[in-house]
Chains A and B, each alone.
Chain A
Amino acid sequence: MKKLINEPAGVVTEALAGMGAAHPELRIDLENRIVYRADAPVKGKVGLISGGGSGHEPMHSGFVGLGMLDAACAGEVFTSPVPDQMLEATKSVDSGAGVLHIVKNYTGDIMNFEMAAELAAAETGTEVIQVVTNDDVAVKDSLYTAGRRGVGVTVLVEKLAGAAAEQGRPLKEVADVAQLVNDNGRSMGIALTPCTVPAAGKPTFTLAEDEMEVGVGIHGEPGRATVKLAPAREIAEMLMEPILSDLPFKTGDNVIAFINGMGGTPLLELYLMFGEVARILKGHGIEIARSLTGSYMTSLEMAGCSVTLLKANDDIMTLWDAPVNTPALRWGV
């Protein structure tokens, strides 16, 4: 393991301290491992909180700021935060308008956020709505699994619900935007190489030089199958087919297309992939109304990418264009 660290146990806290030094517009509670926008709670605005294991940066701390999250709770690497953190964050961002918890569908994240919401209701009576993202088509959605994972669409949910909250929409409506985005978004990813969790010190899984993992999760947990490495053209087909067939996108539909890097893949390759995705969409007569390309939801240094498509209506596009000012996403300001 070659990493820029001091000692494995200190990685998360030291990274947050560094983030605070780099971004004075954020307020960092190092003890509770919470990143706040400095002006939270914003009077009259619904508070938005997300959180999850560390190691997915900029998700979620990089999305704290105007037009997105009010607070992000950072867990240990690849481990959900604990209820104390979400409880503290919930109380701190509630201006009286209620709080939205944006939770990726992982068993640990769900349980810890649920416990936090129970505690918040008991302690302060804060109104909390939880929206769970579960956009990963690589995973079978059945009664016999924990359901689909929440992956790339989470970035879009945070941007779009964040914009809705910034407009002053009430909690229920902000939650409805988040739910609509989740329901109309689908994702799938591949990995070319594994990643190494600092505390474990060795790669989480192994792939031969000529292999890739199709349908990988953001913790490097395997997905559909390990297959032979293919050209980008074919990889794009492998990712797009399950997405397009899962949510019936029609000719003439507008989409937000999001190509996400897993941490170890350069923008050169991500734009190349975007070109392949655009070609496939053109073949289906689907319009790319807006796009995002970059490493926004990563898995440490894992190489690979994911594709997220969101069917977009006029409201969604307006919310997408609304100003956002966070460390990782910024426009219109």
Chain B
Amino acid sequence: MTVTQLSSWLRIYAELINEHTEELTQLDSAIGDADHGTNMQRGTAAVLAAIDANPADDAAALFKTAGMALVSKVGGASGPLYGTFFIRAAASAGAVTELSSHDFAKLLHAGLEGVVARGKPEPGDKTMFDALAPAVEAVDDALDDGASLSDALAAAVTAANAGRDATIPMLARKGRASYLGERSVGHQDPGATSAALLITAAARAFG
């Protein structure tokens, strides 16, 4: 995949966030502080502005620009988490103009590890990790079975959406939702929801 395709991943993600801003904020108002949609919208708009102002020659430059824009514009916990995802993805991809399917899977892993290093989530904490981790695993499994990247990402979307839905009955143990204790049960996690959109955007960009 080319740098143009990689940047279309970011563009589609921004579109999806735009479409779901209200929904993300609504989900966040149930268990957080009602700003996830507006924060992510501000962040992804900043990503587009940054990559338009400084078109990247290679994958590392593209993702670094995106990551820094997210860290610098989003704030809250989502800024450092999504920002670190892309900054680590940049380091993994390197200054190349073409990525193989395997490279892309590696990049997703590096991003996920960044999220883990920054937020220290564990499975079942009711966070973005619960959507992201199964998606990354699904890509690995599908590619190992010889699937195309397009098919692997389709499987990843299914896994991410299932992971997102699985956060509904969970008891939050991270972030502001954790203060709710038992009252966090029964609400879909907004972070897992925006993470599932990130995977959906990848599937559309490389499908």
Task: Please report A residues at the B interface, Cβ cutoff 8 Å.
Answer: 53, 75-84, 106-108, 111-112, 115, 138-140, 144-146, 149, 197, 199-200, 204-205, 217, 219-223
| Interface SS of chain B | helix
Q: Cβ of B79 and Cβ of A112 under 8 Å apart?
A: yes
Q: Cβ of B119 and Cβ of A107 under 8 Å apart?
A: yes
Q: How far is the CA of A111 from the CA of B183 in the complex (A)?
A: 25
Closest chain B residue to A78, Cβ basis: B33
Closest chain A residue to B127, Cβ basis: A107
Q: List 19 A-B contacts (CB under 8 A).
A: A79-B76, A82-B71, A83-B71, A108-B77, A111-B79, A111-B119, A112-B75, A112-B79, A115-B71, A138-B179, A140-B181, A145-B173, A145-B179, A146-B174, A146-B178, A217-B176, A220-B33, A222-B180, A222-B183
Distance (whole angstroms) from the CB of B185 to the closest CB of chain A: 13
Q: How far is the CA of A53 from the CA of B176 in the complex (A)?
A: 14
Q: Cβ of A223 and Cβ of B77 under 8 Å apart?
A: no
Q: Which of A75, A81, A221 has most chain B Cβ within 10 Å?
A: A221
Q: Which residues of B contact A84 (CB under 8 A)?
A: 71-72
Q: How far is the CA of A77 from the CA of B35 in the complex (A)?
A: 9
Closest chain A residue to B41, Cβ basis: A199
Task: Please report B residues at the A interface, Cβ cutoff 8 Å.
Answer: 25, 29, 32-35, 38-39, 42, 71-81, 118-119, 171, 173-176, 178-181, 183
Closest chain A residue to B25, Cβ basis: A200
Distance (whole angstroms) from the CB of B143 to the closest CB of chain A: 32
| Interface SS of chain A | loop
Which 4 A-B residue pairs are closest in the complex by CB-CB distance? A108-B76, A145-B178, A108-B77, A111-B80
| Given A144-B173, A145-B173, A222-B183, A108-B75 contact (CB < 8 Å) | yes
Q: Cβ of B33 and Cβ of A82 under 8 Å apart?
A: no
| Given A82-B72, A200-B25, A107-B38 contact (CB < 8 Å) | no
Q: Which residues of B contact A79 (CB under 8 A)?
A: 33, 35, 39, 74-76
Q: Cβ of A149 and Cβ of B179 under 8 Å apart?
A: yes
Q: Cβ of A108 and Cβ of B173 under 8 Å apart?
A: no
The one of B34, B79, B179, B180 in contact with A108, judged by C-beta atoms closer than 8 angstroms, is B79
List 5 additional contacts besides A144-B173, A149-B179; criterion CB under 8 Å.
Answer: A76-B75, A83-B72, A107-B175, A111-B77, A112-B79
Closest chain B residue to A143, Cβ basis: B173
Q: Cβ of A78 and Cβ of B174 under 8 Å apart?
A: no
Closest chain A residue to B33, Cβ basis: A219
Q: Which of B72, B74, B76, B178 has most chain A Cβ within 10 Å?
A: B76
Q: Cβ of A82 and Cβ of B183 under 8 Å apart?
A: no
Q: Which residues of B contact A146 (CB under 8 A)?
A: 173-176, 178-179
Closest chain A residue to B180, Cβ basis: A222
Q: Which residues of B contact A111 (CB under 8 A)?
A: 77, 79-81, 118-119
Q: How far is the CA of A204 from the CA of B33 in the complex (A)?
A: 7
| Given A107-B174, A140-B181, A221-B176, A200-B34 contact (CB < 8 Å) | yes
Q: How far is the CA of A197 from the CA of B32 in the complex (A)?
A: 13
Q: Which residues of A contact B176 (CB under 8 A)?
A: 106-107, 146, 217, 219, 221
